[in-house]
Structure 1
Amino acid sequence: MSALTLSVLPGAYAVSQLAPNAPLPALPETRAEAGALWSLTRTAGELSLVCQESAVPDGAKVEGGWTALKLHGPFPFDLTGILTSVLEPLRDAEIGIFALSTFDTDYVLVKAVHLPEAVSVLRAAGHTVLE
């Protein structure tokens, strides 16, 4: 996998969890309300929302303090090793992550307190990180 370009998204993010049968949170009405990243996933076991900390629904179990990094895509579906090339250097530096994917790209969240080290590690691995 060749070097990637990542951007640090503005804002403080949270990963939140609601019951699997909970009503869907209201969609943000504007792009400004949604921020740079708003992702909702329902499985048989949970309803998960990744959003700015200020938009977490009441009653959710929350893990806050995340910063989001966007990998610049789009990436073809048959391209392999994209996330691995980002996650392995972070793993080796013992930086925990939360990853999610969209149709065009991937996002990696790291705790805000680890962002400076994460940026340094990713750059040392040959990636470009735009802040």
Structure 2
Amino acid sequence: MQLKLDKTNYTIAKFHPDFPVPTWFQTEASQFKSITYTDEECSIILPTERLDTAEAQSTESDWFLLKIEGILDFSLTGILSKIATPLAEKEISIFAVSTYNTDYILMKQADLDRAITTLTTAGHQITE
């Protein structure tokens, strides 16, 4: 499986569930950004330097990103498992985000080298 590495330092922030989509999110042009609403929270992921956390209830920073290359058909199964399983065996935690086209996996910057080694040993190709 082909994975694209993004070493940008990302932060995941939790906001109140009625937090409006902020202007700074709408105008952000980073390669990856995510906003998700549930009845319990609003979660925003952005590059750390671009995220305004003034109103955040909590934040978790120092994440890097792997993108699964290509558009994934909804009928495909086990894609995340093929990535998550070898990482879990090495006790590397992930934060997965799926979109219509593909999946993204965030991991802590401190695990970058171990994650790359683990995934390449498992047969995945990683490009920058």
Both structures adopt the same fold (TM-score exceeding 0.5):
yes
Equivalent of residue 115 in structure 1, options 108, 112, 115: 112
- Whichever residue aligns with residue 105 of structure 1, its letter is T
> 1:123 aligns to what SS in structure 2?
helix
**For residue 22 of structure 2, what is the aligned residue in structure 1?**
25
Query: Which residue identity lines up with residue 128 of structure 1 in the other structure?
Result: Q
Give the corresponding residue for 1:66.
63
2:40 is matched with 45
The number of residue pairs the alignment matches comes to: 125
Percent same amino acid among aligned pairs? 36
Deviation at 1:59, TM superposition (A): 1.8
Specify every segment of 5 or more residues in structure 1 that has no aligned partner in the other structure, as ranges.
none
For structure 2, the 5+ residue unaligned runs are none
1:12 to 9, 19, 23: 9
Distance apart, 1:10 and its partner CA: 4.0
Kept in 2: contact 1:34–1:52 (CA 8 A): no
Structure 1 residue 95 corresponds to structure 2 residue 92? yes
RMSD: 1.1
CA contact (8 A) 1:10 1:36 kept: no
| 1:71–1:107 Cα contact (<8 Å) kept | yes
- 1:17 Cα deviation (Å)? 0.5
Partner Cα separation in structure 1 for residue 8 and residue 124 of structure 2: 22
The answer to whether 1:127 aligns with 2:124 is: yes
Q: TM-score, normalised by structure 2?
A: 0.93
Q: How big is each residue's C-alpha offset from its partner over 1:48-100, in whole Å with a ceiling of 9 and x where there is no partner?
A: 00111112222212100000110112010010000000000100000011000
Q: CA deviation at 1:34?
A: 2.9
AA matched with 1:36:
Q
